[in-house]
Amino acid sequence: MKTSITDQFLWDIYNLIEKGENVVYFISQGRKAFYNYSGLKNPIFEKYRKTINKRKFSKLVYYLKKNNYIKVKNLKGNKTISLTKKGENKVFKARFKVNSQYQKRKDNKWIMVIFDIPQKQWKARNLLKSILHNLKYRKFQQSVWVTPYDVFEKTEQLLQYYSLEKYVRIFLIEEL
């Protein structure tokens, strides 16, 4: 599955922040921002500078700001980018798309996820279904999803990240 440039860009920003490097400075002083910027050499900046032109890059950043995935702030005379909560959620979804080459389990067992999320938390339920689908789970029944792929750890990470552990049970089964 091909990842969109938006998802890949957000994923790269997230990785840079997670590594504890300096704030992303590549949108600074107007037109020169695409080729010149202050701060440390930024691998994300270099990657996107080489693959897309200035106009497309500006449109990408505008789209991300408009849709509330990133915030651009002034910090000591430079503009910096930070991810919003909505941006972090999109990154988390994109993370599973980027790493979508899954291997089938060597023991030929299946992973079954059963969930019961209250109606009040319909957004969490829809998010869970979306990510289960991206992890190559298939709907077996309404709240029962199964997969033959080795995605157990990624599923657990997802549940912990969104605090859904109390609504979900994961089983390792021999056959369907």
pLDDT at 145 over 90: yes
Burial of 18 (0-12, 13-18, 19+ CB in 10 A): exposed
Provide the mean pLDDT of the chain.
74
> Tell me: the pLDDT tens digits for 6-62?
777 776 777 666 554 433 343 333 333 333 333 445 556 666 666 676 677 778 878
pLDDT of residue 23: 37
* DSSP β-bridge partners for residue 106: none
* DSSP structure class, residue 106: T
pLDDT at 102 over 70: yes
How confident is the model over 100-123, as a mean pLDDT? 86
pLDDT of residue 170: 93
How confident is the model over 65-76, as a mean pLDDT? 81
How confident is the model over 65-86, as a mean pLDDT? 78
**Domains, in order of start, for the chain:** 5-93 (1.10.10), 102-173 (3.30.70.240)
The Cα 73–Cα 11 span in angstroms is 19
Q: Where are the alpha helices (DSSP H) in the chain?
A: 5-18, 43-51, 54-66, 85-98, 122-134, 152-161
0.85 exceeded by the pTM?
Answer: no
pLDDT of residue 122: 87
pLDDT of residue 33: 35
- C-alpha closest to that of 154 among 100, 110, 107: 100
% helix, strand, coil for the chain, step of 5: 50, 20, 30
Least trusted range by pLDDT, from 5-14, 93-102, 153-162: 93-102
Which is more confidently placed, 114 or 57?
A: 114
